[in-house]
Amino acid sequence: MGIYTSTYLKNIASEKGSIFESKLFSAQGGAKDYYDIFLSHSFLDKEEVKGLYLELTDLEYSVYVDWIVDPDLDRSNVTKESAELIRKRMKSSRSLLLAISANAEMSKWIPWELGYVDGHTNKCAIIPVSKENYSPKVFRGKEYLKLYPFIKKTALTYKSFEKLWVIESEYSYSSFEDWYRSGLLEGNRNINIYEL
């Protein structure tokens, strides 16, 4: 699989709509004390985010998405209270994944969330969401986003199950689980992950 596409994620959201509604109801029943992932995104990508949420929770990660967990939060009316709630959720998250799309550039929250979590955990990565199916080797973050590794879902060998990989370059990457625990990427690997 290449990087995530908008169509792929929207299809997941559509096909698993009833599962999403069940997870939505459960998530709104009460916030957790901690989250594995704070999913930063543009609200304009809501359908894609539903698909990402399903993908990540199916992998058994606890995921914070503001409009899922805190539906009463008014994104258009920033107050000290709303900012403090988001800050609290970021502090209780072990990592941040940024769903980057064309819409993400318009978000005023994304740079703040990314900077805050980067300073707090140093575990931030990009999930590229493209309109077309691109090979991961053509993904290049813009400006400060070049500083962060990105996520690809693939099987490392033909016998293994697909899972998430955090990638810095074709020979420098780690499984999401290893990166999540240590914050480190393993370099000088002998398999080019872009070819999988």
Residue 50 confidence (pLDDT): 94
User: Hey, what are 42's tokens?
Assistant: 């543009």
Q: Coil, helix or strand for 9?
A: helix
Q: Looking at the predicted structure, is the pLDDT value of residue 128 above 70? A: yes
Kindly state the average pLDDT of the residues 129-137: 70
Rounded distance between C-alpha atoms, residue 135 and residue 3, angstroms: 7
Residue 107 confidence (pLDDT): 78
CATH of residue 56's domain is 3.40.50.10140
pLDDT digit string, tens, across residues 39-98: 999 888 999 999 999 999 998 999 999 999 998 888 778 889 988 999 999 999 999 999
Is residue 177 domain-resident?
A: no
Is residue 149 domain-resident?
A: no
Residue with structure tokens 């929250």? 109
Is residue 174 domain-resident?
A: no
Is residue 103 domain-resident?
A: yes
Kindly state the average pLDDT of the residues 1-20: 86
Q: What is the mean pLDDT of the chain?
A: 86
pLDDT digit string, tens, across residues 92-110: 999 999 998 878 877 778 8
Nearest CA to 164 among 76, 55, 64, 68? Answer: 55
Residue-range definition of the domain harbouring residue 38:
4-140
Residue 101 confidence (pLDDT): 83
Is residue 178 domain-resident?
A: no
Number of domains in the chain: 1
Do residues 31 and 81 lie in contact, with contact meaning Cβ atoms separated by under 8 Å?
A: no
Rounded distance between C-alpha atoms, residue 53 and residue 59, angstroms: 10
Question: How many of the other CB atoms lie within 10 Å of CB of 49?
Answer: 25
Residue 143 confidence (pLDDT): 72
Is residue 31 domain-resident?
A: yes
Kindly state the average pLDDT of the residues 180-189: 89
Kindly state the average pLDDT of the residues 9-34: 85
Kindly state the average pLDDT of the residues 111-138: 82
